[in-house]
Structure 1
Amino acid sequence: MAYEMNFAPVLARAPELVTGTINTVTLSAQAIAIGLTVGLFVALVRVNGPQWSNRLGAFYVEAFRNTPLLVQLFLIYFGLPYTGLRLDANQAAIFAVSLNLGAYSAEIFRAGLIAIPKTQIEAGLALGMSRLQVMRYVIIVPALRIVYPALTGQLTLTLLGTSIVSAISANELTMAGATIESQTFRSLETFLVIAAIYITITFAFRFVYWLFGLWLFRRPTATGSAASGVTLKLRESGS
């Protein structure tokens, strides 16, 4: 007998799907903000820091890039209580996803930082730019321009990877789908709806990344020449 699709029982649980979607977006946004901060810091200390910080950063990157996110999640959720630090499922999910993204984004940022010529940094300093301006306009923004496509691709993978945290019963979309499926017994319909929601969220995030890229790279940076760094300095000072 042919299978008859029936989405009504699934769509009747729309409030749970909406809540799961909001939780996924919130979890992803928090993990992305923390993970990018960690990644940029690790990249900077690996490129410009002392030898010991480079080795420590390399150990962190290799440890998290060579183990599955699910294993990291279990170690944090089930392992940290043995050290006296107890996190609930949502906190452990944010912690694990953030550290995982931090490791991957650190290497992406590092690739961009290495691509900036040292002579260009020296030229920016020689032209009177402050170290903060050099760091912002001559190093970070141009490096980010170089790696932005790869970085946004990694952020999309992070968003989709949050589905793994359902393994520890964290409140997010996949967990909501599993609950609905277990109660309605409409497995195919449930996860078709879940897939459609993930596609929608992914395109929404990619649109946000595109808008952010337009804003961040809306004017020339110091990538082309040291003279462009002077232009930015004059604009910043209002000259």
Structure 2
Amino acid sequence: MVTLDFAAVLQAWPLLLRGAVFTVGLTAVAAALGMALGVACAWARSSGPVALRGVVGAYVELIRNTPFIVQLFFVFFGLPSLGVRLTPEVAAVLAMVVNLGAYAAEIVRAGIEGTPRGQVEAARSLALSEAQVFLRVVLPPALGRVWPAMVSQIVIVMLGSAVCGQIAAQELSYYANLIQSRNFRAFEAFIVATGVYLALSLALRHALYWIGPRWLFGRTPRLH
């Protein structure tokens, strides 16, 4: 007879809470920096110099075609051989930013390529600089068009942060593993962790859908 003892896991709720808070913070920093990197790379691939397009294209293909855990291990274990030593937390953020940046670049580029040419020409006729055209005319509606895909990618990156516990970054899965190593309740510990990840994913998705139209690309007009 198998008996489940969730109380043995839930009594360690301060550790689970600490891990969840760290995961949220890790995701927030990675999402902000990763999106900024993605926008810069999307601009480079759509309007940048030829040489820059090649460099960015190579970066995007490299990251999108290799596992995140390999990228994480390269940052944490590989860079020290070049004299660059990072804490687990900084390594986790850096790996997540680099990973999200590559995927965000292609997502944003798809939105940019959907911008009507006449809209860009009209903006240029108003004597706006190329930077103003991109930031004020091209980018906001482009983000609006691809925001659902961007939200999904950010959620995926948040869930991928679970492997950061492999380098001792103290996120949620790290503490779930720590708890089960103390009470040997692995099934219960990871069931609880799964529930927390599910709640975080749903909350993050709703938060991003609220933030996007209000802070990044303006409200979507309502049809009457």
Tell me which interval the TM-score lies in, with the shorter structure as reference length: over 0.9
Does 1:57 pair with 2:56? yes
Counterpart AA for 1:141: P
**Aligned ranges for residues 98-109 of structure 1 at < 5 Å?**
98-109=97-108
Q: Post-superposition shift, 1:118?
A: 2.5
Q: Post-superposition shift, 1:114?
A: 1.1
Deviation per CA, 1:205-232: give whole Å up to 9, x if none. 1111111133143155xxxxxxxxxxxx
TM-score by length of 1: 0.88
Counterpart AA for 1:13: A
* Cross-structure match for 1:233: none
* Cross-structure match for 1:89: 88
Counterpart AA for 1:218: R
Deviation per CA, 1:73-98: give whole Å up to 9, x if none. 11111111111110011111111111
* Cross-structure match for 2:219: 218
* Cross-structure match for 2:31: 32
* Cross-structure match for 2:154: 155
Q: Post-superposition shift, 1:126?
A: 1.7
Instruction: Give percent identity, aligned residues only.
Output: 39
* Cross-structure match for 2:181: 182
- Give the Cα–Cα distance (whole angstroms) in 2 for the partners of residues 161 and 118 of structure 1: 37
The 8 Å contact of residues 30 and 93 in structure 2, kept in 1 or not, is answered as yes
Counterpart AA for 1:12: Q
Root-mean-square deviation over aligned CA pairs: 1.4
Structure number with greater Rg is 1
Runs of 4+ in 1 over 3 A off after TM superposition: 127-133
* Cross-structure match for 1:228: none
**Aligned ranges for residues 2-81 of structure 1 at < 5 Å?**
2-81=1-80
The 8 Å contact of residues 38 and 104 in structure 2, kept in 1 or not, is answered as yes
- Give the Cα–Cα distance (whole angstroms) in 2 for the partners of residues 50 and 58 of structure 1: 12
Q: Post-superposition shift, 1:9?
A: 1.0
Counterpart AA for 1:145: G
- Deviating more after overlay: 118-127 vs 23-32: 118-127
Counterpart AA for 1:45: A
Counterpart AA for 2:170: N
- Give the Cα–Cα distance (whole angstroms) in 2 for the partners of residues 30 and 127 of structure 1: 36
The total of aligned residue pairs comes to 219
- Give the Cα–Cα distance (whole angstroms) in 2 for the partners of residues 85 and 129 of structure 1: 42
Name stretches of at least 5 consecutive residues in structure 2 with no aligned partner.
Answer: none
Q: Post-superposition shift, 1:137?
A: 3.3
* Cross-structure match for 2:165: 166
Name stretches of at least 5 consecutive residues in structure 1 with no aligned partner.
Answer: 221-239
Q: Post-superposition shift, 1:170?
A: 0.9
- Give the Cα–Cα distance (whole angstroms) in 2 for the partners of residues 108 and 219 of structure 1: 19
